[in-house]
Amino acid sequence: MAILHVLTFPNPVLRETCVEAVPGTDEIRKLADDMLETMYIAPGIGLAAPQVGVSVRMIVVNIMGASDDSDPHILLNPEILQADEEITAFEEGCLSLPELKVHIERPRMVKVRFQDLGGAHREMLAEDLLAIAIQHEMDHLEGRLILDYATSIRKDQYRRKVKKLLAERSI
């Protein structure tokens, strides 16, 4: 396994709409292993392929983080079939947007269809933090970031902060 570089805003790959993942290949299995290792080291509870520079529809999620790496969720080509009408709010962070937290409202429960690494079609019901994490990572597959949910003032502040950091690094 390898630790992958997590892309940060404003890298343009983070804004791409991802293509379908091809299950059953050695490459996709290795990518899943590497993404899990990267997520645990970061540390985080979810990671989407575009965050490591691969624009395919794959996410990994483990809301227990590295404390229990025995049962991670690896979802290829996920789609939400059903979303609960009950909404929950959570302050979300993102490995690709360091130092940014955004209060986001999302459905508390979602039913998701996906393919596993071997290509079998599966469905799962996710609720609470798992549902939030899956929706967050699925946003990445469409080029959406938590920054998109922020107020315009917070967006401007964060963009200025990133611009300043990038300018300081190039000196």
- State yes or no: pLDDT of 150 exceeds 80: yes
- Whether 38 and 3 have beta carbons less than 8 Å apart is answered as yes
Q: Is residue 26 part of a domain?
A: yes
Report the pLDDT value the prediction gives residue 171, as an integer from 0 to 100. Answer: 65
- One DSSP character per residue, 107-135 reads ESEEEEEEE-TT--EEEEEEEHHHHHHHH
Is the CB of residue 14 less than 8 Å from the CB of residue 96? yes
Residue positions annotated with a catalytic role: 137
CATH of the domain at 81: 3.90.45.10
Q: Does 162 reside within a domain?
A: yes
**For residues 81-107, average pLDDT:** 96
> So what's the pLDDT on residue 68?
80
79 phi and psi angles, rounded to 5 deg: -145, 140
The number of domains in the chain is 1
- What is the pLDDT at residue 65? 76
Q: Is residue 60 part of a domain?
A: yes
42 assigned to some structural domain: yes
Mean pLDDT throughout 84-106? Answer: 96
Q: How confident is the model at residue 127 (pLDDT cuts 50, 70, 90)?
A: very high
| Residue 128 is assigned to a structural domain of this protein | yes
Residue 70 counted as domain residue: yes
What average pLDDT does this structure show over 145-156? Answer: 95
Q: Which two tokens stand for residue 34?
A: 């590497």
Tens of pLDDT along 28-80?
999 999 999 999 999 999 999 999 999 999 999 999 877 787 789 999 999 99
pTM of the model: 0.94
User: Average of pLDDT values for 135-154?
Assistant: 97
31 belongs to a structural domain: yes
Q: Is the peptide bond before 107 cis (omega within 30 degrees of 0)?
A: no
Determine, yes or no, domain membership for 3. Answer: no
pLDDT at 97: 97
Q: What value does the mean pLDDT of the chain take?
A: 95
Closest CA to 136 of 49, 74, 48: 48
90's tokens = 């959570």
Residue-wise burial string across 128-137, b where 16 or more C-beta atoms lie within 10 A, e elsewhere: eebbbbbbbb
Structure confidence at residue 107 (pLDDT) = 98
Query: Which residue range(s) make up the domain with 76?
Result: 12-169
Q: What is the DSSP string of the chain?
A: --PPPPP-TT-GGGGSPPBPP-TT-HHHHHHHHHHHHHHHHTT-SEEEGGGGT--BSEEEE-TTGGGGTTS-EEEEEEEEEEE-S-EEEEEE--TTSTT--EEEEEESEEEEEEE-TT--EEEEEEEHHHHHHHHHHHHHHTT--GGGGS-HHHHHHHHHHHHHHHHHHT-
Mean pLDDT of 122-129: 97
Q: What is the mean pLDDT of residues 23-29?
A: 97
pLDDT of residue 166: 85
